């Protein structure tokens, strides 16, 4: 396995990502994936918001944007998967290069920009999956959508994915879609949540809906978000997406690159947001994500108030062994 991880590092980041996931998919189809990645832990059988999880560890959105690898990733032992972010229309995302490795600090900077094949393509994959575990779908807005159309993009995706998802995440926190984070502002968020509340009622959706937030917001903004969520149909918050704050980085060259930072430098900042949210609300449901590269990181998210924890960059850097490292302790 270490040989393959070293090999993938020789490829460009996006090519390595595609090649590694397609390799997992092939091993799964040949029914030999578990020969390479053996499960060394017991199932926990967690119940959260009426959903049954075999453990608390899942994938974050961005790992499998289009739902092409659901069955293969599910076979690795994750307790749940989250696919997306998906938008109503297919879009290519921002110009390449747009993913940059920073191995010295166990991090990645990306400015992908919601590149995906569109919600209809994702739904077609959701219909074909054989994975029986919990599956969330992360939805967003197309880059060119503005004003009411941006709000409508979320409603279009919500209507199309709700029948095939166990939970849905409303992503307002990517730093790579212009002005998307403006939806954190109280007035803009109120408009979005009211529209989604109406759609949830009209479509009779009973599944959990989460709001995924940025780690770069002020405590005042976070407090307003908590109030909005607690007075809506939303079930909770996913904290957090990537950060544009590069002050914690040592690598000066990486600091000059635009995009969101994930991995180790994000860990403390994202966990502090979790802790702050929990300090303001004892009951709000939380999923923690951002910088999880070890069992210790995982435990910190749980101790900060998260009921579930997601990984992304840690999985890219370490591969499937991260699952056992976290769950087998």
| DSSP string of 55-122, one letter each residue | SSEEEPTTSSTTSSSHHHHHTTT-SEEEEEEE-SS-B--SPSP-EEEEGGGTEEEE---S-BS-HHHH
Q: What does the alpha-carbon distance between residue 243 and residue 296 come to, in Å, rounded to a whole number?
A: 21
| Residue 278's CATH number | 3.20.20.70
Q: Indicate whether 78 pLDDT > 70.
A: yes
Tell me: pLDDT of 202 over 80. Answer: yes
Predicted local confidence at residue 9, as pLDDT: 67
The answer on pLDDT for 105 being more than 60 is yes
Q: What is the mean pLDDT of residues 225-246?
A: 97
Query: Which of 40, 126, 48 lies closest to 77 in space, CA to CA?
Result: 40
* pLDDT over 90 (residue 302): yes
Strand 308-311 to 107-110 pairing: unpaired
**How confident is the model over 117-127, as a mean pLDDT?**
98
How many whole angstroms separate alpha carbon 228 and alpha carbon 94? 31
Structure tokens at 214: 């940025």
Element (H, E) at 176: none
pLDDT at 35: 84
Instruction: Count the domains in the chain.
Output: 1
Tens digit of pLDDT for each residue in 3-15? 455 666 667 787 8
* 85 phi, psi to nearest 5 deg: -75, 140
Known catalytic residues are 174
Query: Per-residue pLDDT tens for 256-282?
Result: 999 999 999 999 999 999 999 999 999
Give the model confidence (pLDDT) of 246-255 as tens digits: 999 998 888 9
Q: What local confidence, expressed as pLDDT, does residue 6 receive?
A: 60
Determine the Cα–Cα distance for residues 294 and 89; give it in Å rounded to an integer: 36
150's CB contacts (< 8 A; 6+ apart) are 141, 142
Is the confidence at residue 49, as pLDDT, over 90?
yes
Mean pLDDT lowest for which of 120-124, 145-149, 199-203?
A: 145-149
Question: Mean pLDDT, to the nearest integer, of 69-97?
Answer: 96
Strand partners, 137: 83, 168
pLDDT band at 38 (very low <50, low <70, confident <90, very high): confident
Per-residue model confidence (pLDDT) at position 263: 95
In this structure, are residues 247 and 223 in contact, taking their beta carbons and an 8 Å threshold? no
d(CA 158, CA 123): 11
Q: What own/partner pairs with CB < 8 Å and gap ≥ 24 does 301-308 have? A: 301/271, 301/274, 302/56, 304/271, 304/274, 304/275, 304/278, 305/274, 305/275, 305/277, 305/278, 306/239, 306/274, 307/46, 307/48, 307/56, 308/46, 308/48, 308/53, 308/56, 308/57, 308/58, 308/79, 308/80
Reference 154, options 178, 171, 175; nearest CA is 171
Please give the pLDDT value at position 328: 87
What element of type H or E holds 7?
helix 2-10
- Domain of 9, in residue numbers: 2-327
In this predicted structure, what is the pLDDT of residue 216? 96
* Residue 2: pLDDT over 70: no
Residue 64: which region, alpha, beta or left (left: phi > 0; alpha: psi -120 to 50)? beta
- Give the model's confidence band at 329: pLDDT under 50 very low, under 70 low, under 90 confident, else very high: low
Residue 198 CB contacts under 8 Å (≥ 6 apart), including other chains? none
Q: Which of 59, 95, 18 is nearest to 259 (CA)?
A: 95
**Encoding tokens for residue 228?**
């909005």
């Amino acid at each position: 396995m270490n040989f393959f991880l070293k090999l993938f590092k020789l490829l460009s980041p996006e090519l390595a990502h595609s090649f590694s996931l397609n390799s997992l998919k092939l091993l799964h189809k040949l029914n030999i994936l578990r020969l390479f990645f053996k499960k060394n832990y017991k199932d926990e059988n967690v119940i959260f918001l009426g959903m049954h999880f075999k453990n608390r560890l899942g994938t974050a959105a961005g790992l499998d944007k289009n739902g092409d690898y659901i069955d293969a990733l599910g076979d690795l032992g994750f307790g749940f998967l989250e696919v997306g972010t998906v938008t109503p229309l297919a879009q290519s995302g921002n110009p390449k290069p747009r993913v940059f490795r920073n191995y010295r600090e166990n991090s990645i900077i990306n400015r992908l920009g919601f590149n995906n094949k569109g919600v209809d393509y994702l739904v077609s994959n959701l219909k074909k999956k054989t994975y029986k575990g919990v599956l969330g779908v992360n939805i967003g807005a197309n880059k060119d959508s503005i004003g009411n159309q941006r709000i409508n993009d979320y409603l279009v995706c919500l209507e199309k994915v709700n029948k095939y998802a166990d939970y849905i995440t409303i992503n307002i926190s990517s730093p790579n879609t212009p002005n998307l984070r403006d939806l954190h502002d109280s007035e803009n968020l109120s408009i979005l949540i009211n529209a989604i509340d109406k759609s949830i009622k009209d479509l009779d959706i009973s599944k959990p809906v989460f709001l995924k937030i940025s780690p770069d917001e002020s405590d005042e903004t976070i407090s307003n978000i908590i109030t909005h969520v607690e007075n809506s149909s939303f079930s909770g918050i996913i904290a957090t997406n990537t950060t544009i704050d590069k002050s914690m980085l040592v690598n000066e060259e990486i600091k000059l690159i635009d995009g969101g930072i994930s991995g180790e430098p994000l860990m403390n900042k994202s966990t502090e947001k979790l802790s702050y949210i929990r300090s303001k609300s004892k009951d709000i449901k939380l999923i923690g994500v951002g910088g999880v590269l070890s069992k210790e990181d995982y435990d910190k998210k749980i101790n900060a108030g998260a009921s579930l924890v997601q990984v992304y960059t840690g999985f890219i850097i370490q591969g499937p062994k991260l699952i056992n490292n976290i769950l087998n302790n």
